[in-house]
Structure 1
Amino acid sequence: PIGVFGGAFKDVPAYDLGATLIEHIIKETGLNPSEIDEVIIGNVLQAGQGQNPARIAAMKGGLPETVPAFTVNKVCGSGLKSIQLAYQSIVTGENDIVLAGGMENMSQSPMLVNNSRFGFKMGHQSMVDSMVYDGLTDVFNQYHMGITAENLVEQYGISREEQDTFAVNSQQKAVRAQQNGEFDSEIVP
């Protein structure tokens, strides 16, 4: 599912979104869950979800504990990297059937209070938005990904009009595709 920040899915952990999809895939394909060799899922904002969110999604999605799972964090490319790793494991003969993809719920990313484990002696303490810090900030240059976009616009000479045209066309294509039923097999009711 795709939603808006703070919207209908704000109280649903990413692993529950993943589990819903896994359960749906098993039902739709008729696969025996024990036939799945491995689960590889991309997930960036893992703070507070528990160990290995991919494994949580797999088990909550109905897979037996004998099916291994691991979580990939390659920021925005996490889901795509998961699919690439699944493909690679199949091509090399390591696996036959792999469930791969990505799951995220930015609304669930917690606020952090660094250096608070052993308490504070005095002074003010700040909260850190894990969504911004772990997901949207370039750790080497200390700027938001929005600034990265602005830097690319400048580097490649992309006009605001070109950006807006691309965005509108993309949105129109998505709406048209959904209205034409092209996403029906990809949307869990």
Structure 2
Amino acid sequence: MNDAFIVSFCRSAVTKAKKGGFRFTRSDDLAVNIIKALLAKTPQLDTSLIDDVIVGCANPEGEQGLQIGRQIALRAVGQSTPGVTVNRYCASGLETIAIATAKIRSGMGECYVAGGVESMSQIPMEGYKLAPNYMVASEHPDYIIGMGLTAEAVAKKYNASREDQALFAPLSNKIASKAKQNNISDDDNV
């Protein structure tokens, strides 16, 4: 079995939906810019060796639809590199890394670009036309639950108190602020 490694990474900042700095930015444009920045900081990578661009998207509809993974691959890497969209709702981006890892370990490829893209400003939170199957919903009323209820279940399972969560929540911003004050570069944040 082959070993799989993450050799480089890049990300955007996270901003508030409908109000943040990316509220007018298309998801595909955002992802293309990030992948181009990733490739620029990894000049030793021959892009012709990329086996696939795997893109996770929780709501692949509207401008995030139409096989956004392929659209991003075309613009960021080139016509000869395929692209695919993965949907596992909020875990979509993480799932792409698992898929790339599994493909490398099983010998189905050697080099993948994997990650997620989403704009909660450009796409409504519930999507454009949420239409769950009535029969499934009547037999399994919790088959679609929001992240709020998921968070409650995880907190209960791992005994994460409200107080612990309140202490943990601002840590990322504090670390980023301290890094900025100390002129520490964040080359991975595009």
2:29 matched residue in structure 1: 16
Deviations 1:134-162 (A, max 9, x none): 9xxx9942653223333444565543222
Deviations 1:83-102 (A, max 9, x none): 11111111222112111111
Q: How does 1:29-44 map to 2 (within 5 A)?
A: 29-30=42-43, 31-44=45-58
1:130 matched residue in structure 2: 127
Greater RCO, 1 or 2 (C-alpha within 8 Å, sep 6+): 2
Is 1:168 aligned to residue 158 of structure 2? no
> Out of 59, 62, 75, which is 1:60 matched to?
75
Deviations 1:165-187 (A, max 9, x none): 12133432343356567772311
SS in 2 for 1:65: coil
> Out of 100, 104, 109, which is 1:95 matched to?
109
Q: How many correspondences in the alignment?
A: 167
Partner Cα separation in structure 2 for residue 151 and residue 34 of structure 1: 44
Structure with bigger gyration radius: 1
Partner Cα separation in structure 2 for residue 131 and residue 161 of structure 1: 36
Instruction: Give the TM-score taking structure 2 as reference length.
Output: 0.73
SS in 2 for 1:70: strand
2:151 matched residue in structure 1: 149
CA gap of 1:59–1:8, structure 2 versus 1, over 3 A, is same
Partner Cα separation in structure 1 for residue 183 and residue 30 of structure 2: 22
CA gap of 1:110–1:152, structure 2 versus 1, over 3 A, is closer
SS in 2 for 1:86: helix
Does the CA contact (< 8 Å) of 1:42 and 1:78 recur in 2? yes
Partner Cα separation in structure 1 for residue 108 and residue 167 of structure 2: 44
Per the TM alignment, residue 39 of structure 1 is displaced from its structure 2 partner at its CA by: 0.8
| Percent identity of equivalent pairs | 34
The code of the aligned residue for 1:55 comes to R
Q: Which runs of 5+ in 1 are unaligned?
A: 112-128
Partner Cα separation in structure 1 for residue 182 and residue 109 of structure 2: 35
Aligned-residue CA RMSD (Å): 2.9
2:5 matched residue in structure 1: none
Structure (1/2) with the larger strand percentage: 1
Does the CA contact (< 8 Å) of 2:53 and 2:112 recur in 1? yes
CA gap of 1:147–1:167, structure 2 versus 1, over 3 A, is same
Instruction: Give the TM-score taking structure 1 as reference length.
Output: 0.73
Does the CA contact (< 8 Å) of 2:96 and 2:114 recur in 1? yes
